[in-house]
A and B are shown apart, each in its own frame.
Chain A
């Protein structure tokens, strides 16, 4: 082992400590948490997890979150693919302006949009549905998906397109059977980012739902406000929110570094 690997090791330890504490606390009894400091759970309990998996208001939170995150991923990728292709292959009137305008939506503070979104979605009658949250998250996920896909597509030489057309492929046939398989790493990375930002966002998801589509993150706030009494439950719910993310990263592990660079290295 080299001497310099001490830096990443220390950094990873620093990252894991708060996560360890959250997981450890989820296995403690409320009594133990409040009675004082203990490094490991003294009386190991699964009570918090039992509560979550048996109470519909809890486990529906997870299902709701997963539904709107998946919906958002599908919508964002579906509309971003053709747009990214246009940006990477063609010059057209206003292309640069349009690209920057898309990016500006990534810069808008969610706090600015919370109230108008609530009114807009109430007016069109989709308040408190999974679609509302999925559409709202498109605001920042579509620009990001276009940006990432454009980066990956620009890395594919234009000769690929020209050869396919010369071979008599129609555009849709070329796009779906040749082009998309070529950039599937990029599609995976873009989907990963859509998942990530939709999964972690709370402000809009909470504002746009009441009961039927309430996300897990909002369900959790009910324990946070009654501070101190249900720390174990809060910790267990938090621990469970880490798992889907960990699974998704595992799938894109080989592309993650290139993906974070938006395909631009």
Chain B
């Protein structure tokens, strides 16, 4: 049981100061910009909530947001079940466990732009391993710089390659925490594989899976570098996800007002969905 002690604030103070410096000041800058119009030369004009209204009604924002939800949705639908399936078939003990874990964690430690560049050379139609294989061995026309569908398949495959291991490692951590006695009891009761999965493994993995879903949601919703390096948002705008569009507006066109308003809306959406996951998670902790 935790004891009540207000002096604990002193322990939290360094974290609080550092994060406040890093988070509050920049956020206030963004809020400030979001309500003003600038034509350069550091001249600003009051805009009020005008930008917010404009962004919320803009077709461009709706399209980017739609693509973002499609991307994140596909990522969760593919990576979560795939990750659980791989974790279930991994060895529990012995020499191969650390080997598997190290090899699986490897993609996550590669800088994000290297991931994009790597997939770029991997999928080049005539000289990349995957591009050559699909075009010349399977005979399917595949060029992600021309075909939006191919570009989507590529960014999804890249993310599955990059992050499924996170789900695997989390589910695996949940699985190895199940005592052998549970399985023995299930065997005595003559439980089928399905009921072992449904009534023993899933409940034990529930906590770690919530973390997995939360992390995968946050990171795939904020993804920028990998798809930017891989497709640059193209062909056309077909893979322009929310943060790619945001950086285009903020740094490409230097439209600070709309970009700031868009940032805040973007952040609010991420926050809202994450908060839903977080409440689910802490509700489980209580039970």
Contacts and interface: CB of A to CB of B under 8 A. Distances in A.
Interface of A: 4-8, 11-12, 14-22, 25, 33-34, 36-37, 39, 75, 78-80, 82-83, 85-87, 89-93, 95, 98, 100, 102-117, 119-120, 135-136, 138-139, 142-143, 146, 158, 196, 199-203, 216-217, 220-221, 224, 231, 234-235, 237-238, 241-242, 244-246, 248-250, 253-254, 256-258, 260-262, 264-265
Nearest to B164: A11
Nearest to B1: A158
A25 B121 contact: yes
11 contacts: A6-B89, A17-B122, A18-B129, A83-B12, A83-B15, A104-B271, A111-B224, A111-B243, A111-B250, A116-B29, A202-B225
A45 B217 CA distance: 42
Nearest to B3: A90
- Dominant SS at the A interface? helix
Contact of B15 (A17, A79, A221): A79
Nearest to B22: A139
Contacts of B90: 8
B117 A220 contact: yes
Nearest to A17: B129
A264 B23 contact: no
B253 interface: no
A86 B13 CA distance: 10
Contacts of B136: 37
Contact of A33 (B98, B109, B127, B211): B127
B107 interface: yes
Contacts of B155: none
B23 A105 contact: yes
Interface string B8-31: 110110111011011101110110
A217 B26 contact: no
Contacts of A91: 2-5
B132 interface: yes
**What band does the interface of chain B fall in when counting residues whose beta carbon is under 8 Å from A?**
35 or more
Contact of A258 (B128, B132, B173): B173
Interface stretch (B50-58, B59-67, B182-190, B262-270): B262-270
B19 A105 contact: yes
A234 B117 contact: yes
A205 to B, nearest CB: 9
A116 B25 contact: yes
Given A14-B161, A91-B5, A103-B278, A19 B211 contact: no
A264 B174 CA distance: 9
B104 A12 contact: yes
A175 B114 CA distance: 40
Contacts of A224: 113, 117, 120, 229
B103 A109 contact: no
